Structure 1
């Protein structure tokens, strides 16, 4: 449990209440509109992603986290791939695009977070080779519906000060028949700058760190921090011979803008 003074607990109460209220209102509005959006548009979601984007921008403001951007999010069909440093990545990336995350299946059963993930259209995948074909079909359906997917190829989060080798497994979905020639993948580097006086890894959430203590630390912070998203030039899937070559190219791009230790 982080050490928090009286002023810090007041910030926790005010920010925590604002954040919970913001998420509750956003999800209620999103689910209500989805009742009409689903039968009219099916997999396509022309309205509700705007709500997710707006809520994410507001959540960053509540948390005292300024968001900057370098480069431009691509307009082409495909996916973003980024390094993974914190649960805050979800807000930061959603604030800059109408996107859908790819997550491990276990997240769907997590209290609170799993419900939010399902409500925002997250694509859940199982680490089971027997389901590889079904998952590839799901990816294809979502991509052909115009969804821009986002996933973290490192496979886990870090302290935000390094980039782990990218796993190539999920990249295989982009090489399916009918997809390879039309899809692009855009590498994105997520960079956190800690509040003045705090450790460089202040925003990092990794290993066996508990969500509660980490969230309390952020809510109690008296000084603002910053998250910067660096959007690298998109890579055309058809220009690469296989998933491993594409994964390596994405890793090199993300690593090129990451903090140098």
Structure 2
């Protein structure tokens, strides 16, 4: 079962003004049109891509990346990258702060999410996740062998995977201890070439003068309420992706050491950039 982080409650959100509702409608309709229009185009392209390329996806990840970059323009939320996404086979691990992480990490690189199995059934988000090649798993040690096999097949197809080792989202101002279970998949004997893990730090800055945790989504927060708050905001902040040097699995030696090294890199990146 996924854990939930419960921190100090944020300040109450003021009622949305008339101008705020105008922004909700304009941004929401535009974002929905671009997102689900992109999904329809992606599914159409997969009808051609799948029989020609199988599990490999040489075209559709570019569409996903483009849609996610446009999403930040629609929201008026600044987006930037520091460092470079790795090109070798392996996975990306990041701290988890918000539902916006999905847009940010897809905008930064062409990756495939590893998500908890219940997301598959979520309205809207579940459809998007399935269409973009998300891997759905149960975070249980007893399923580690099956996960290694599944990851191995996806890595062999040239996919860079992405998962959140914290197992839950926070207010974006801290990094929780990394769970090492999923790191075991990268020590499978027949993985060749050897995979690497690239730590990435997500750094959110709230709108100027507002709560620095504005984009954090944690505890019992409702998705709909948080989405409305972001859409209605008269001013937006920004998000930066900090790409750290990849870590070879063999250099770490075992899953727990690999998890600790990745966590240390992500934590150091947040400490350098946090306000």
Q: Tell me the TM-score range normalised by the shorter chain.
A: over 0.9
Is 1:242 paired with 2:248?
A: no
Number of residue-to-residue matches in the alignment: 261
Q: Distance in 2 between matches of 1:64 and 1:153?
A: 29
Distance 1:180 1:2, change over 3 A: farther
Match of 1:28 in 2: 40
Which residue of structure 2 aligns with residue 191 of structure 1?
Answer: 203
Matched residue SS, 2:78: strand
Which residue in 1 is equivalent to 2:173? 161
CA distance in 1 between partners of 2:178 and 2:14 (Å): 32
Aligned to 1:134: 146
Counterpart of 1:206? 218
The residue correspondences of 1:144-155 to structure 2 (distance < 5 A) are 144-155=156-167
Q: Which digits, 9 at most, give the CA deviation of each residue in 1:221-261, with x for residues without a partner?
A: 11121100110111111111100000000000000011458
Instruction: Give the drift of 1:129.
Output: 4.5
SS in 2 for 1:258: helix
Q: For 1:236 and 1:187, locate their aligned partners in 2 and report how far apart those are by CA, in whole Å.
A: 11
The equivalent residue for 2:108 is 96
Consecutive unaligned residues in structure 2, runs of 5 or more:
1-12
Please show how residues 10-49 of structure 1 align to structure 2 within 5 Å: 10-49=22-61
Counterpart Cα distance in 1 of 2:52 and 2:20? 47
Shift of 1:135: 2.1
Contact 1:79–1:185 (8 Å) recurs in 2: yes
Larger displacement relative to structure 2 (129-138 or 15-24): 129-138
| Aligned-partner Cα distance in 2 for 1:229–1:112 | 25
Distance in 1 of aligned mates of 2:199 and 2:69: 21
Cross-structure match for 2:118: 106
C-alpha distance in 2, partners of 1:2/1:243? 45
CA separation in 2, counterparts of 1:198 and 1:235?
36
Partner SS, residue 114 of structure 1: helix
Paired residues of 2:144 and 2:185 also in contact (CA < 8 A): no
Shift of 1:180: 7.0
Relative to structure 1, the CA distance from residue 128 to residue 240 in structure 2 (aligned partners, 3 Å threshold; closer, same or farther) is closer
| TM-score using structure 2 length | 0.92
- Displacement of 1:65 in angstroms is 1.1
Q: Is the 1:69–1:230 contact (alpha carbons within 8 Å) kept by the matching residues of 2?
A: yes
DSSP 3-state at the match of 1:51: helix
How far 1:181 moved relative to its partner? 5.3
Secondary structure of 2:108 counterpart: coil
Q: TM-score, normalised by structure 1?
A: 0.97
Q: Which residues in structure 2 correspond to 1:224-239 (within 5 Å)?
A: 224-239=236-251
Please give the per-residue CA displacement for 1:63-117, whole angstroms capped at 9, x wherever unaligned: 1111111111111111110000000000001001111000000100111111110
Unaligned runs of 5+ in 1: none
